[in-house]
C-alpha cells in the first residue's frame, strides 16, 4: 500500500513540475502572437500569416538625450531617420546601419544669418535629395527651410492674401511635403480648403485638393424647413480638414482624412492620391474601398470606423495607412486591394497607445507613438516578402515570375484571395484570357473577369473572322439558291 501511494505521489509531483515548466512557455508564445488578417469577398475577417514581425522598439533615452515628449512627426530619407520631438522643441537625427541606430545630432535652434533662433513645437519635417530641411515650425507659425548644417535658407509665414486668407487667421503648419520642383504643400491647422501650396520663394499659390463636404441628410432637411435664426445656430456644412500628407516616388500627393461622421465612413475616401490639379486619382479596384476595417464593433472600449492619421507609400505604389482608432496598419496594393492588417492598441510589443506617424525604411515599417514616446520597427517576414516580390515583378512586367511568387504565397496561405487574383492578372497580361477568367471567377473578381472576357471575345472574333465570313457567305448562297429553286418551281407549275 505504501509502495502504491509512493508511486502515485511521485507521478503527481512529475505532472506538477511538467505543468510549471510548460506554463511559462505557453504564455511566452501567446505574448509573441502578432495577429494579422485580411477580408474576403464576403467581408469576413480571415487570419493570415504575419506579413511583418516585431524587430525592435526605439527609445531616444538609450542615446543619452532623454525621452521623446509628445513627438508628432518623423521622416525617413535613405538610412536617416528624423524625429520631431515636439514638446521638447527639438529635432533628432538618427542613422540606421546593420540593424542598429546611432545618434547623428540633436537640433534645437537654427542659424539665421548669425542669429540663433530656437525651434518651437516642430510638428513635421521633410528632407529633400539635396539635404535641405523643411520644418513645420508650429510654435513660431512658420515653415522654415535650412541646409544640412541648419543655416536658414528661407521661411514662409502667414500669406498676405486678403482674398483667400482671413485677417484673424493664424498660420499653424502641422504637416508638409516638398516635390521635385521645390513646391511646398502644407496641411495647416483650421484650414479646410485643402493643402496650402507655396513656391520655393514663399509665394502663396493657393489651395489644392479640397476635401469633399460631409453632411448629414437629416440635418440638411431641417435646414430647409428651419427659420433663418435656427439655421444660424446650426453647424455650417464645410469641407473637412486633412489629417496628413505624403509624397510618392512619382511626385503625387497621398492624403489622409480622419474628420468624417461614422455613418459616412464607406464614402469618405479617407485616403486619396492627388494629381497636380488636386483631383483624386487613387485606384479602388478591391473588394472594398480602402477604408480600413470593413467590419467593426465597440470591443475593448474602441468604437467606430478606422480613421487614418498617416500614410506611407512604397516605391511599388503599395501604401500603408495608420489607423488612430484601433492602432492598426492597413496595407494596400496599387489597385486598392487590401494586402493585410495588423497592430492594435495596447502595451504589448507591436501595439501602440497613440500612433501618429508611419514611415518605411527598407524592408521595415516604423511607427511613432506619441504617448509612449517610442518608435516601433517591424520587418517583413518571408510571407510578406513573397507578396511584395509578387507585386514588384508584376509592375516590372515579369508576369511569369510574379505568378510563381503568388504560387509560393498560396503554399503559406491557401485562403489568400489576392494570390489567386494576382495569378489571374499575370495570365491576363500574357493573353491567356480563358485561364485568367477561371482565377477571377474563383475569387469573385468580376471587374477583371469582365475585362478578360471582353479581350477573349475580341481575340476569338479576330481569330475566327475568316471562318465566320465564309459561313455567312455560304448561308447567303444557300438562301439564294433555295429562293431561286422555289421561284423556278413556281414558274414551271404555273405553265
pLDDT tens column, 217-234: 555 555 566 665 555 444
| Whether the predicted pLDDT of 26 surpasses 70 | no
**DSSP structural state of residue 13:** H
> Based on the number of CB atoms within 10 Å of its own CB, is 456 exposed (0-12), middle (13-18) or buried (19 or more)?
middle
Give 228-265 pLDDT, tens digit per residue.
Answer: 555 544 444 446 789 999 999 999 999 999 988 888 88
Res 492: pLDDT = 75
Instruction: Calculate the CA dihedral of residues 199, 205, 206, 208 and round it to 10 degrees.
Output: -50
Res 222: pLDDT = 53
Check if the beta carbon of residue 449 is closer than 8 Å to that of residue 426.
Answer: no
pLDDT over 70, % of the chain: 86
CB count in 10 Å sphere of residue 214: 17
Give 79-95 pLDDT, tens digit per residue.
Answer: 999 999 999 999 999 99
Label residues 254-281 b or e (16+ Cβ within 10 Å = b).
bbbbbebeeebbeebbbbbbbeeebebe
**Cα 483 to the center of its chain, rounded Å:** 69
- The CA-atom distances, in angstroms, between 431 and each of 239, 426, 427 are 45, 9, 6
pLDDT band at 444 (very low <50, low <70, confident <90, very high): confident
Instruction: Please report the domains of the chain, with CATH numbers, ordered by start residue.
Output: 37-380 (2.120.10.30), 405-495 (1.25.40)
Ordered DSSP codes for 279-304 = -B-----SSS-S-S-SS---GGG--S
**DSSP structural state of residue 227:** -
Check if the beta carbon of residue 258 is closer than 8 Å to that of residue 243.
Answer: yes
pLDDT band at 5 (very low <50, low <70, confident <90, very high): very low
Res 19: pLDDT = 42
150 in helix, strand or coil? coil
Res 136: pLDDT = 99
pLDDT band at 443 (very low <50, low <70, confident <90, very high): confident
CB count in 10 Å sphere of residue 10: 10
C-alpha cell at 374: 517610442
Query: From CA 87, how far away is CA 373, in angstroms rounded?
Result: 11
Check if the beta carbon of residue 271 is closer than 8 Å to that of residue 256.
Answer: yes
200 in helix, strand or coil? coil
Least confident span in 22-36, 44-58, 172-186:
22-36
DSSP E strand boundaries for 328-479: 328-332, 338-343, 355-361, 364-369, 374-380
Check if the beta carbon of residue 337 is closer than 8 Å to that of residue 32.
Answer: no
**What residues pair up with 188 in beta bridges, in sequence order?**
173
Query: From CA 395, how far away is CA 408, in angstroms rounded?
Result: 18
Res 115: pLDDT = 97
| Whether the predicted pLDDT of 455 surpasses 90 | no
- The CA-atom distances, in angstroms, between 217 and each of 214, 223, 230, 235, 250 are 10, 10, 17, 13, 38
DSSP E strand boundaries for 108-250: 109-112, 115-118, 122-127, 133-137, 142-146, 152-156, 173-178, 184-188, 195-198, 204-208, 244-247
Instruction: Taking residues 52-56, report their average pLDDT.
Output: 95
Instruction: Taking residues 124-144, report their average pLDDT.
Output: 98
Res 468: pLDDT = 77
Instruction: Taking residues 134-163, report their average pLDDT.
Output: 95
With vertex at residue 250, the alpha carbon angle to CA 247 and CA 251, rounded to the nearest 5 degrees, is 45
Res 330: pLDDT = 98
> Based on the number of CB atoms within 10 Å of its own CB, is 43 exposed (0-12), middle (13-18) or buried (19 or more)?
exposed
Instruction: Taking residues 296-309, report their average pLDDT.
Output: 84
472 φ, ψ (degrees, to nearest 5) = -65, -40
- The CA-atom distances, in angstroms, between 325 and each of 273, 297, 373 are 22, 11, 18
Query: From CA 154, how far away is CA 159, in angstroms rounded?
Result: 14
pLDDT band at 408 (very low <50, low <70, confident <90, very high): very high
Res 231: pLDDT = 52
**Cα 79 to the center of its chain, rounded Å:** 21
Task: Quote the pTM value.
Answer: 0.83
| 213 contacts: CB under 8 Å, gap ≥ 6 | 237, 238, 239, 240
Res 467: pLDDT = 78
Check if the beta carbon of residue 147 is closer than 8 Å to that of residue 112.
Answer: no
Handedness of CA 85, 91, 92, 97 (dihedral sign): positive
Res 1: pLDDT = 45
Residues in the chain: 495
Check if the beta carbon of residue 96 is closer than 8 Å to that of residue 83.
Answer: no
pLDDT band at 28 (very low <50, low <70, confident <90, very high): very low
Query: From CA 427, how far away is CA 445, in angstroms rounded?
Result: 14
| Whether the predicted pLDDT of 450 surpasses 70 | yes
pLDDT band at 373 (very low <50, low <70, confident <90, very high): very high
Radius of gyration over every alpha carbon of the chain, rounded to an integer in angstroms: 31
Res 406: pLDDT = 97
β-strands 122-127, 133-137 pairing: antiparallel
Instruction: Taking residues 173-180, report their average pLDDT.
Output: 98
Most confident of 155-164, 207-216, 282-291, 439-448: 282-291
Res 18: pLDDT = 43
| Whether the predicted pLDDT of 442 surpasses 80 | yes
Tell me which of 231 and 206 has the higher pLDDT.
206
Amino acid at each position: 500500500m505504501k509502495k502504491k501511494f509512493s508511486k502515485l505521489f511521485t507521478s503527481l509531483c512529475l505532472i506538477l513540475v511538467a505543468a510549471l515548466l510548460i506554463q511559462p512557455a505557453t504564455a511566452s508564445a501567446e505574448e509573441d502572437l502578432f495577429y494579422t488578417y485580411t477580408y474576403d469577398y464576403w467581408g469576413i475577417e480571415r487570419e493570415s500569416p504575419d506579413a511583418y514581425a516585431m524587430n525592435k522598439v526605439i527609445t531616444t533615452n538609450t542615446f543619452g538625450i532623454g525621452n521623446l515628449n509628445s513627438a508628432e512627426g518623423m521622416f525617413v530619407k535613405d538610412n536617416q531617420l528624423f524625429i520631431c520631438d515636439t514638446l521638447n522643441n527639438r529635432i533628432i537625427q538618427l542613422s540606421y546601419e546593420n540593424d542598429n541606430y546611432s545618434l547623428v545630432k540633436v537640433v534645437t535652434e537654427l542659424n539665421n544669418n548669425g542669429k540663433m533662433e530656437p525651434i518651437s513645437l516642430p510638428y513635421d519635417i521633410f528632407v529633400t535629395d539635396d539635404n535641405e530641411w523643411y520644418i513645420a515650425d508650429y510654435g513660431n507659425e512658420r515653415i522654415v527651410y535650412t541646409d544640412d548644417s541648419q543655416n536658414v535658407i528661407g521661411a514662409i509665414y502667414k500669406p498676405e492674401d486678403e482674398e483667400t486668407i482671413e485677417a484673424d487667421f493664424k498660420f499653424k503648419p502641422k504637416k508638409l511635403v516638398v516635390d521635385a520642383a521645390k513646391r511646398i504643400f502644407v496641411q495647416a491647422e483650421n484650414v479646410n480648403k485643402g493643402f496650402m501650396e507655396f513656391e520655393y520663394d514663399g509665394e502663396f499659390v493657393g489651395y489644392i485638393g479640397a476635401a469633399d463636404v460631409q453632411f448629414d441628410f437629416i440635418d440638411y432637411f431641417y435646414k430647409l424647413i428651419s427659420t433663418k435664426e435656427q439655421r444660424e445656430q446650426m453647424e455650417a456644412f464645410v469641407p473637412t480638414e486633412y489629417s496628413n500628407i505624403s509624397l510618392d516616388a512619382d511626385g503625387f500627393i497621398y492624403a489622409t482624412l480622419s474628420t468624417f461622421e461614422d455613418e459616412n465612413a464607406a464614402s469618405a475616401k479617407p485616403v486619396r492620391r492627388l494629381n497636380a490639379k488636386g483631383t483624386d486619382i487613387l485606384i479602388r479596384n478591391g473588394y472594398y474601398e480602402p477604408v480600413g476595417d470593413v467590419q467593426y464593433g465597440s470591443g475593448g472600449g474602441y468604437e467606430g470606423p478606422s480613421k487614418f492619421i498617416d500614410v506611407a507609400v512604397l516605391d511599388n505604389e503599395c501604401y500603408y495607412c495608420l489607423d488612430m482608432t484601433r492602432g492598426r496598419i492597413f496595407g494596400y496594393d496599387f489597385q486598392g486591394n487590401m494586402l493585410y492588417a495588423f497592430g492594435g492598441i495596447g502595451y504589448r510589443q507591436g501595439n501602440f497607445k497613440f500612433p501618429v506617424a508611419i514611415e518605411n525604411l527598407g524592408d521595415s515599417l516604423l511607427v511613432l507613438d506619441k504617448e509612449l514616446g517610442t518608435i516601433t520597427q517591424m520587418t517583413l517576414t518571408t510571407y510578406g516578402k513573397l507578396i511584395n516580390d509578387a507585386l514588384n515583378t508584376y509592375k516590372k512586367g515579369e508576369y511569369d515570375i510574379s505568378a510563381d511568387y503568388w504560387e509560393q504565397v498560396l503554399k503559406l496561405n491557401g485562403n489568400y484571395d489576392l494570390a489567386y487574383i494576382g495569378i489571374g492578372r499575370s495570365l491576363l497580361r500574357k493573353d491567356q484570357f480563358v485561364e485568367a477568367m477561371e482565377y477571377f471567377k474563383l475569387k469573385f473578381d468580376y471587374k477583371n473577369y469582365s475585362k478578360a472576357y471582353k479581350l477573349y471575345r475580341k481575340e476569338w472574333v479576330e481569330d475566327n473572322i475568316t471562318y465566320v465570313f465564309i459561313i455567312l457567305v455560304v448561308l447567303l448562297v444557300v438562301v439564294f439558291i433555295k429562293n431561286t429553286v422555289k421561284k423556278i418551281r413556281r414558274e414551271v407549275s404555273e405553265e
